[in-house]
Amino acid sequence: MADYHDDLRLAHALADAADAATMARFRALDLKVETKPDMTPVSEADRAAEELIRAGLQKERPADAILGEEYGVEGTGPRRWVIDPIDGTKNYVRGVPVWATLIALMEEDETGFQPVVGVVSAPALGRRWWAARGLGAFTGAGLGSGTRIGVSRVASLADASFAYSSLSGWEERGRLDAFLDLTRACWRTRAYGDFWPYMMVAEGSVDLCAEPELSLWDMAAVAVVVQEAGGSYTGLDGRPGPHSGNAAASNGLLHEALLGHLGYEEAPGA
């Protein structure tokens, strides 16, 4: 089995640098915010954080490729770092502390690129989560002070807590009725949004979550954390990993029930 300790240490160091940059501009009255062509916001902090991470990777892992939300793909090869400098930019620009920097390493195998290292750092919440293939999933201030985490053992939707981001995405895809049926079947539902529900699944405080449309940089880091915590992470089509353009995550025991309500026979547009 490959040893990912050095890659995990590097991902933490990159997250430290990004946290310093993003927190320095969080709630700044003169924060510069623009609208991208896809009508989503991007702040100067998004760009600065990605630039810092890219610079660190170019120095420490010059042979590896990089995919980032703000600056696209650079390089080729069997190892690719995937970056979301601020997951939850809409929260960030409004002063809501639920946002995080996501850093993942993906490696190519016979099934394509799969995440093997992930760091999710939410400095405004004072939280960080991380995982590497075969090493487990953890939360804490850093590598030297991590506590191992694991998913819940809830086995019935009637006892389950379900987290999501919003209703609009499900409605736009004609899946709102199925979504509402799932919420009615569950004990509790909350719209935490973005990276946070996946981390709650990984640490066992939420049992399942799903989103109808996502990009690879939204999913790569959280997928490996959920998986190493003992959970299941697939697309709504049931395809393992972060490649379906949408996500279903659970403690594993509830995954069949989750896909039974929201799953597609194939990924939308496939």
| Cα–Cα dist 100/71, whole Å | 18
For residue 268, the model assigns a pLDDT of 46
Residue environment code for 145-173, b if the CB has 16+ CB neighbours within 10 A, otherwise e: ebeebebbebeebeebbbbbbeeebbeeb
Q: Which DSSP helix (H) or strand (E) runs through 87?
A: strand 79-87
Tens-digit pLDDT string for the chain (270 aa):
678 999 999 999 999 999 999 999 999 988 998 887 776 888 899 999 999 999 999 999 999 999 999 999 999 989 999 999 999 999 999 999 999 999 999 999 887 899 999 999 999 999 999 999 999 999 998 888 899 999 999 999 999 999 999 899 999 999 999 999 999 999 999 999 899 999 999 999 999 999 999 999 999 999 999 999 999 999 999 999 999 999 999 999 999 999 999 987 654 444
CB–CB of 198/118 below 8 Å?
no
Provide the pLDDT for residue 75.
Answer: 93
CA atoms of 114 and 138, how far apart (whole Å): 19
Q: Which SS3 state, helix, strand or coil, does residue 222 take?
A: helix
List, in sequence order, every residue forming a beta bridge with 161; answer none if it has no partner. 188
- Output the 3-class SS for 145-203: HEEECCCCCCCCHHHCEEECCCCHHHHHCCCHHHHHHHHHHCCEEECCCCCHHHHHHHH
- Residue 144 pLDDT: 82
50 close to 67: Cβ distance less than 8 angstroms? no
